[in-house]
Structure 1
Amino acid sequence: MADHSTPEASSAGVPSPQGAVSAKGSPKNAVSENSTPGDAVSENTLSRGVFSRRRLLGTAGATGLALGAVGGAAGYAAAPSAEKTALLASLGADRVMFHGKHQPGITTALQARGHVVAFDLAAGAGRKEAAALLRRWSATAQRLMAGEAAALDDTDVARDAGPSSLTVTFGFGHSFFARTGLEKQRPVALDPLPDFSSDHLDKTRSNGDLWVQIGANDALVAFHALRAIQKDTGSAARVRWQMNGFNRSPGATAQPMTARNLMGQIDGTRNPKPAEADFDQRIFVPASGHPEWMANGSYAVVRRIRMLLDDWEKLSVTAQEQVIGRRKSDGAPLSGGTETTAMKLQKTDADGNLVVPLNAHARITRPDQNGGAAMLRRPFSFHDGFDPDGVPDAGLLFICWQADPLRGFVPVQRKLDRGDALSHFIRHEASGLFAVPGGAADGEYVGQRLLEG
């Protein structure tokens, strides 16, 4: 829950929905996964045309919702034809491109619904079976992200919907390489994460050979993709664990704003932004990086963080703000200003006490307090019901991206482990680290350079 690395607004703001394509699909209105906000259209951007799952019909929606729906992507065409007005105004029209320099679902804006799932290869399955599986998965992801039905045995769950900003992202766990005889290609950065004193990890819900992240702005579209991916595994792999999450729906607020988490805190003020000069250096493996198959890829740390909401909600708002180091109402630092005002770490009150406590979460997680360590956080909230005593099983599916977890997640988590005031109100219950290769070029499947290199 690092303050410096939490996603910006879920409905709009930074990062903008990289890869989102307006319904018109014209170059001036389309943004590819390889673009940053305000960039010209990438050569990988495709025209949307008339796409559908079994011929998409325009869904009626309030025209005023359109700007919130695109979440900061380039605007729609100035004068859309009357017959396409309903389609243009719907969340379902937004499409993210599958092919590109990076995989989708990394710099894409927060989505309203998400699923993360890990698989283990079946006994006897190896490199050949894994390659065939990634080929099937990539083909299915490409079709579904374009708003089309699955090629075989489609369930019709999303028949009436458009792409709804669907993204499907694939990664490899540490154990994958031994199972496929590819140990020499396993990145050093994929070494297991160290133990942290605050961990209460369930090993059955941690790690895995393969990892898939699914996100969309429609719950049925997201589930449809999850079911299609699971069916595609056939006998090659089995589900190890699976988790569901959600965020605020795009357009739910009167104006774009940073999202809130289940503690009610504005969560995402200092996330790295694609427009920053060193963004790619911090988040993505360079094209000249090692191993070569990870060029333009990233490393995902996945943590199921349970929030102890009953304890948290007993605190006064003032006490909650002292734990975080920011005002609950607007996310501004306790040292004054607005949400984006730089925190004044040395500012004191009339009694000489630091305005932002030494153990405040926002102070501890600042990059300038961690040797510049940074990561792009793109989480989902979760709620999995209530314990027998009525305690909510809820919190954050923490997902963060970085070029090297030893320089991103690990140093920040170590410091949090030593004295974060928030640690009394959260519990890390599951963990995983996955190597996520770069995006697939046209005609490729994800991971092809590893599996066929």
Structure 2
Amino acid sequence: MSATSRRTALFCGLAAGVGGVAAAGCTGSDPAPVATTTASRAAGATAYRPFRGVHQPGIADDPQPYAAFVAFTLLGGSDRASLRRLLTIWTDDIERLMSGRGTIVDQEPELASVTAQLTVTVGIGPRVPGLAGAPAPAWLAPLPAFAQIDRLDPRWGQADLLLQICAASPTTLAHAQRRLITAAGDLVRLGWVQRGFREPFAGGGSGLPMRNLFGQVDGTVQPDVHGIDAGLLWVGDNGPAWLRGGAGLVLRRIAMDLDTWDRVDRGSRENATGRRLDTGAPVTGRALTDAPDLDAVDDLGFHRIDDAAHLRRAHGTAPHERFLRRPYSYDDPPEEGTLSNSGLLFAAYCADPARQFVPVQRRLAELDLLNLWTRPIGSAVFAMLPGASDGEILGQALVA
């Protein structure tokens, strides 16, 4: 008997002892599942998303499992010409990378061949429109202070430019990030990089929801940005001409105290969130899609959804208080004196953050039970540029 056969026999003997399901693959040689898996992986490696269009990719499309938010500061002396130069370079490089081609100076083009649904989305900060001689929307500014909860660290603060890089492969993401940073050359200074992840098996018909590191189902109520709620996401005629078809992005880095959360019982966790941990349903419902009954009371006359529950405080009081959420978790090395350094990169996209996002955030800052275990440590606002049509560069109308 060969070594391979002995290992197979040993595995099957052990598997048989733990149940028929575990041993199901030991009844004979059947290459079909392996071939199917190999084909599926190959298709996933070469899956791509189009770069050109009315809107940039990476906003309304399905989130990929891995993300990096990369911020830059424009160097002194930057003007419209230097901004146009940078956006011209990035446009060409992004289009190449998203289509599976290396950039012009790429010495590892093989890494680009694994497209893995790569998307790169470019945003600008409050200072940039002025450098380009263009008007800025009133909301393109740092958020108002939420003194009750904010513990903002300047290293995660506002920047001039943002690259949001997302992919189904961390290698593809890292390669794209490196190429785009080096392409910027001496036009910018790298500010911060925030990396995040989502459950790769969530969505796509799997039945598995996106969960954050508290175990909560995240992103439960989203506007229909492909239909009747598209105006809540994309900047229209009421915005500056150079931004029409773009969107606002609020990026908040929220630290989550897992050390103390671990000591909270399940009932208290559900009371704090207002949702069931197993299904994500409101505590007044059964299914994830059930509308919360904010008026329901228990036998003692108290609201079943606590007055300070996150669900109640985040619930929109007006039709426009909605925005598209695309959150990613982060889990960095623990800092001294802690067992964890984890949290959420809360990315919220909307046409007008001041009108749509700020009222909700203000209610959460004033009263939200989850504030006991979370604290915002980073905050920035960006205008995500419109898409580029054939022959255009990103930001064409801004730097023309």
Same fold (TM over 0.5): yes
Asked whether 1:283 is paired with 2:236, we answer no
Asked whether 1:445 is paired with 2:398, we answer no
Q: Kindly state the Cα deviation for residue 379 of structure 1 after the two structures are TM-superposed.
A: 1.4
Q: Kindly state the Cα deviation for residue 177 of structure 1 after the two structures are TM-superposed.
A: 3.1
Distance 2:90 2:34 in 1: 35
2:137 matched to which residue of 1? Answer: 187
Q: Kindly state the Cα deviation for residue 87 of structure 1 after the two structures are TM-superposed.
A: 6.1
Q: Kindly state the Cα deviation for residue 352 of structure 1 after the two structures are TM-superposed.
A: 1.7
Asked whether 1:411 is paired with 2:359, we answer yes
Q: 1:428 to 1:294 in 2, by over 3 A?
A: same
Structure 1 spans left out of the alignment, 5+ residues: 1-59, 66-84
Asked whether 1:391 is paired with 2:342, we answer no
| Residues 370, 412 of structure 1: 8 Å contact kept | no
Structure 2 spans left out of the alignment, 5+ residues: 1-31
1:107 matched to which residue of 2? Answer: 60
Q: Kindly state the Cα deviation for residue 149 of structure 1 after the two structures are TM-superposed.
A: 1.3
Distance 1:62 1:295 in 2: 47
Q: How many residues align?
A: 368
Q: Kindly state the Cα deviation for residue 123 of structure 1 after the two structures are TM-superposed.
A: 2.1
Residues 244-263 of structure 1: pairs in structure 2 closer than 5 A? 244-250=195-201, 255-263=206-214
Q: 1:308 to 1:64 in 2, by over 3 A?
A: farther
Q: Could you state the TM-score of these two structures normalised by the residue count of structure 2?
A: 0.87
Give the letter aligned to residue 395 of structure 1.
Answer: G
Identity within the alignment, %: 34
Structure 1 residue matching 2:139: 3-state secondary structure: helix
Distance 1:61 1:249 in 2: 20
Distance 1:252 1:356 in 2: 27
1:353 matched to which residue of 2? Answer: 302
Q: Kindly state the Cα deviation for residue 248 of structure 1 after the two structures are TM-superposed.
A: 1.0
Structure 1 residue matching 2:67: 3-state secondary structure: strand
Structure 2 residue matching 1:97: 3-state secondary structure: coil
Distance 1:400 1:252 in 2: 19
User: In the TM superposition, what whole-angstrom CA distance separates every residue of 1:333-365 from its partner, at most 9, and x where no partner exists?
Assistant: 111221111111111112222111011101111
1:317 matched to which residue of 2? Answer: 266
Q: Kindly state the Cα deviation for residue 449 of structure 1 after the two structures are TM-superposed.
A: 0.7
Give the letter aligned to residue 190 of structure 1.
Answer: L
2:330 matched to which residue of 1? Answer: 382
Q: 1:63 to 1:290 in 2, by over 3 A?
A: farther
User: In the TM superposition, what whole-angstrom CA distance separates every residue of 1:146-183 from its partner, at most 9, and x where no partner exists?
Assistant: 11112213335725x531110000011012234x252x
| Residues 87, 395 of structure 2: 8 Å contact kept | yes
Q: Kindly state the Cα deviation for residue 88 of structure 1 after the two structures are TM-superposed.
A: 7.4
Residues 6-405 of structure 1: pairs in structure 2 closer than 5 A? 86=39, 90-156=43-109, 158=111, 161-178=113-130, 180-182=131-133, 184-197=134-147, 198-250=149-201, 255-277=206-228, 279-286=229-236, 288-367=237-316, 369-370=317-318, 372-405=320-353
| Residues 157, 220 of structure 1: 8 Å contact kept | no
| Residues 113, 245 of structure 1: 8 Å contact kept | yes
Distance 2:136 2:98 in 1: 29
Aligned alpha-carbon RMSD (Å): 2.1
Give the letter aligned to residue 451 of structure 1.
Answer: V
Give the letter aligned to residue 123 of structure 2.
Answer: G
Q: Kindly state the Cα deviation for residue 306 of structure 1 after the two structures are TM-superposed.
A: 0.6
Q: 1:344 to 1:378 in 2, by over 3 A?
A: same
Q: Kindly state the Cα deviation for residue 370 of structure 1 after the two structures are TM-superposed.
A: 4.8
| Residues 61, 86 of structure 1: 8 Å contact kept | no
| Residues 102, 296 of structure 1: 8 Å contact kept | yes
Distance 2:202 2:71 in 1: 31
Q: Kindly state the Cα deviation for residue 443 of structure 1 after the two structures are TM-superposed.
A: 1.1
| Residues 119, 211 of structure 1: 8 Å contact kept | yes
Larger radius of gyration: 2
Distance 1:90 1:375 in 2: 32
